[in-house]
Structure 1
Amino acid sequence: MKNIYSFEGLNLQLTYLLIFLSFAAIGCNSKETALPPGDKDNGGLILPGGFEALVVVDSIGGGSIIAQKVSQLSKSAIYTPPPPEIKGAPKSTQLSRPNNQPAGNYVGARHLAVNDNGDIYVKLRTPTTDGFGNAALRDVNGDGKADTVKIWGKYENRNRGTAMKIHNGYLYYSSELAVYRSKLKPGQLVPDGEMETVVIDEPPYHEHQAKALSFDGKGHMFVSWGIGTNSCQTENRRPGSPGLDPCPDMVDHGGIWMFDENKLNQKQSDGIRYATGMRSIVGMAWDDDTESLYAVHHGRDDFRLLWPEFYSPWKSTMLPADELFKVDKGFDGGFPYYYYDQMLEKKILSPEYGGDGIKEGDGAKLPKPLVGFPGHFAPNDILFYKGDQFPARYKEGAFIAMHGSTNRIPYPQVGYVVLFVPMKKGVVTGPWEVFADGFAGVDTIAIANDAKYRPMGLAEGPDGSLYVGDTQLGKIWRVMYKGDKSAFGATQLAAMEKRKNTISYLKTPDEMEDNLDRKGKPVHAALTYNIYCRACHQTDGSGDGNRYPPLAGSEWVNSDKTVLINIVLNGMTGPIQVKGQPYNDTMPAHASFLTDKEISGILTYVRSNFGNKAGPVTEAEVAAARKSLSKK
Structure 2
Amino acid sequence: MKKFAPIFLVTISALFIISFVSVKDDQLPMADKNNGGLYLPGNFKAVVVVDSLEGRARHLAVNSNGDIYVKLRFPDSIGGNVALRDTNHDGKADIIKKFADYEDKGSYGTGMRIHKGYLYFSSQINVYRVKLNPNTLVPDGKLELIVHDIHPEHEHDAKPIAFDNKGHMYIAFGAPSNACQEQNRVPGSMGIKGCPLLNDYGGIWQFDEAKPNQLQKDGMRYATGLRSVVAMDWNTADSCLYVVAHGRDDLRLQFPRKFSAWQSAVLPAEEFIKVKEGTDVGWPYYYYDPIKKKKLLNPEYGGDGKKAGNGAKYAQPIMAFQAHWAPNDLMFYTGNQFPQRYKNGAFIAFHGSTNRSPYPQAGFFVCFVPFKNGKPTGQWEIFADGFAGRNTVVSVSDAVYRPMGVSMGPDGSLYISDTEKGRVWRIFYQGDKTKFTNAQLAKMELRKKLPGFKIPDVMRNNLMSGMLTAGARIYTTYCANCHQKNGKGDGNLFPPLSGSEWVTGGKYMEKDLAIRVLLNGLEGPIKVKNKPYNSVMPKHSFLSDDQIARVLTYIRNNFGNNSSLVTASEVKKVRASLQVK
TM range (shorter): 0.7 to 0.9
Kindly report the root-mean-square deviation, in angstroms, between the aligned alpha carbons of the 2 structures: 3.2
Cα-to-partner distance string for 1:206-234 (whole Å, 9 max, x where unaligned): 10000000000000000010000111111
Number of the residue aligned with 1:510? 457
Q: What letter is aligned with 1:345?
A: K
Aligned positions of 1:35-46 closer than 5 A: 35-46=28-39
**Superposed displacement of residue 506, structure 1:** 1.1
Distance 1:267 1:30 in 2: 40
1:142 aligns with 2:89: yes
Distance 1:31 1:356, change over 3 A: closer
Gaps of at least 5 residues in structure 2 are: 1-21, 480-486, 488-496, 533-555, 565-570
Listed as ranges, the matches of 1:333-348 within 5 Å are 333-348=281-296
Equivalent residue, structure 2, for 1:408? 356
The equivalent position to 1:449 in structure 2, one of 376, 394, 397, is: 397
Match status 1:611 vs 2:571:
no
Deviations 1:324-367 (A, max 9, x none): 11100000110010000011110000011011100000001112
Equivalent residue, structure 2, for 1:51: 44
Select the residue among 272, 277, 292 that pairs with 2:220.
272
Letter in 2 for 1:36: P
Q: Output the CA distance in 2 between the equivalents of 1:529 and 1:136.
A: 49
User: Helix, strand or coil: the match of 1:458?
Assistant: strand
What corresponds to 1:215 in structure 2? 163
Question: Residues of 1 paired with 2:508 and 2:499: CA distance?
Answer: 10
- The CA deviation string for residues 536-557 of structure 1, in whole angstroms up to 9 with x for no partner, is 4489x35xxxxxxx76669xx9
Counterpart of 1:137, as a letter, is L
* Range with greater deviation from structure 2 (451-460 or 519-528): 519-528
Over alpha carbons, which structure has the higher Rg? 1
Inter-CA distance 537–225: structure 2 relative to 1 (3 Å threshold): closer
Gaps of 5+ in 1: 1-28, 62-105, 543-549, 570-593, 603-607, 615-632
| 8 Å contact from structure 1 (residues 458, 469) kept in 2 | yes
Tell me how far apart the structure 2 counterparts of residues 340 and 170 of structure 1 sit (CA, whole Å).
Answer: 37
* Structure 1 counterpart SS, 2:230: strand
Residues 504-551 of structure 1, C-alpha deviations (whole Å, 9 max, x = no match): 111111111111111332535799799973894489x35xxxxxxx76
How many Å separate the matches in 2 of 1:30 and 1:210? 32
Is the contact between residue 38 and residue 53 of structure 1 (CA under 8 Å) also seen in structure 2? yes
Work out whether 1:391 is the aligned partner of 2:339: yes
> Could you tell me which amino acid in structure 1 is paired with residue 35 of structure 2?
N
Q: Write out aligned runs for 1:470-485 (5 A).
A: 470-485=418-433
Q: Aligned AA for 2:467?
A: G
Q: 1:370 aligns with which of 318, 342, 359?
A: 318
- Call closer, same or farther: CA 1:538–1:411 in 2, change over 3 Å: farther
**1:409–1:198 Cα change, 3 Å:** same
Task: Identify the residue that residue 191 of structure 1 maps to in structure 2.
Answer: 139
Q: Distance in 2 between matches of 1:170 and 1:142?
A: 25
Q: Distance in 2 between matches of 1:564 and 1:292?
A: 53
Superposition pairs of residues 4-43 of structure 1, within 5 angstroms: 31-43=24-36
Q: Are 2:23 and 2:411, in contact at CA under 8 Å, matched by a contact in 1? A: no
SS in 2 for 1:110: coil
Q: 1:37 to 1:530 in 2, by over 3 A?
A: farther
Match of residue 367, structure 2, among 407, 415, 419: 419
Structure 2 letter corresponding to 1:523: G
Say yes or no: does 1:429 pair with 2:377. yes
Contact 2:23–2:66 under 8 Å retained in 1: no
Q: Distance in 1 between matches of 2:151 and 2:30?
A: 47
Q: Identify if the C-alpha distance between structure 1 residues 317 and 598 changes in structure 2 by more than 3 Å, giving closer, same or farther.
A: closer
Distance (whole Å) between structure 1 residues aligned to residue 399 and residue 499 of structure 2: 20
The question of 1:565 aligning with 2:547 is answered no
Q: CA deviation at 1:179?
A: 0.2
Q: Identify which of 512, 520, 525 aligns with 2:467.
A: 520
Q: Please, which moves more after superposition, 451-460 or 29-38?
A: 29-38
| Aligned residue in 2 for 1:283 | 231
State how far apart, in whole Å, the 1-side matches of 2:499 and 2:51 are: 35
Give 3-state SS (helix, strand or coil) of 1:523's partner: helix
Higher relative CO (Cα under 8 Å, sequence separation at least 6) belongs to 1
What amino acid does structure 1 have at the position aligned with 2:455? T
2:126 corresponds to which residue? 178
1:84-95 equivalent positions in 2, closer than 5 A? none
Query: What TM-score, normalized to structure 2?
Result: 0.81
**Residue 567 (structure 1) shift:** 7.8
Amino acid across the alignment from 1:123 = K
| Structure 1 moving runs of 4+ over 6 Å | 525-532, 557-561, 596-599
CA–CA distance in structure 1, aligned partners of residues 431 and 509 of structure 2? 42
Q: Does the residue aligned with 2:575 lie in a helix, a strand or coil? A: coil
Q: CA deviation at 1:396?
A: 2.9
Name the counterpart of 1:440: 388
Q: Which moved more, 1:216-225 or 1:515-524?
A: 515-524
